[in-house]
Amino acid sequence: MHIPDGYLSPSTCAVLYGATLASWYVCLKRLKRVLLTRVVPLISVFAAFAFVVMMFNLPLPGGTTGHALGVTIAAIVLGPWGAVLSTSLAIALQALLFGDGGITTLGANCFNMAVIGALVAYVVYRLLAMQSSIDSRRRVVAAGIAGYVAANASALAAAIELGIQAALFHDATGTPLYAPYPLKIAIPAMLIGHLTFAGIAEAVLSAGLLAYLQTADPGLLMGTSGGAQSATGSPLRSSASVRNLWVTVAVLLILTPLGVLATGKAWGEWAPSDFVHAETRVQIAAASRDQGPPTTVPTGMARMATLWTSPFPAYAPAFVKSHALGYLLSAMFGVGLLLLIALAAGRRWRIRIRPEQAT
Distant-in-sequence, close-in-space partners of 6: CB < 8 Å, separation ≥ 6: 102, 104, 178, 272, 298, 300, 301, 302, 303, 304, 305
Q: What is the pLDDT of residue 348?
A: 65
Q: What is the pLDDT of residue 133?
A: 93
Q: Do 326 and 316 meet the contact criterion of CB atoms below 8 Å apart?
A: yes
Q: What is the pLDDT of residue 288?
A: 94
Q: What is the pLDDT of residue 341?
A: 82
Query: What are the helix (H) ranges across the chain?
Result: 10-31, 33-53, 71-98, 106-109, 117-129, 137-163, 165-168, 183-193, 199-216, 239-254, 278-286, 299-304, 323-358
Q: What is the pLDDT of residue 358?
A: 47
Which domains are seen in the chain, by residue range?
10-354 (1.10.1760.20)
Q: What is the pLDDT of residue 219?
A: 87
Q: Do 99 and 317 meet the contact criterion of CB atoms below 8 Å apart?
A: no
Q: How far is CA 120 from CA 127, 303, 351, in A?
A: 11, 34, 35
DSSP 176: B
What is the value of pTM for the model shown?
0.92
Q: What is the pLDDT of residue 343?
A: 77
pLDDT digit string (tens) for the chain, length 359 residues: 899 999 999 999 999 999 999 999 999 888 875 566 668 888 999 999 999 999 999 998 888 999 999 999 999 999 999 999 999 999 999 999 999 999 999 999 999 999 999 999 999 999 999 889 999 999 999 999 999 999 999 999 999 999 999 999 999 999 999 999 999 999 999 999 999 999 999 999 999 999 999 998 898 898 776 543 333 334 444 567 788 888 999 999 999 999 888 878 899 999 999 998 999 999 999 999 999 999 899 999 999 999 999 999 999 998 998 989 999 999 999 999 998 887 777 666 555 555 555 44
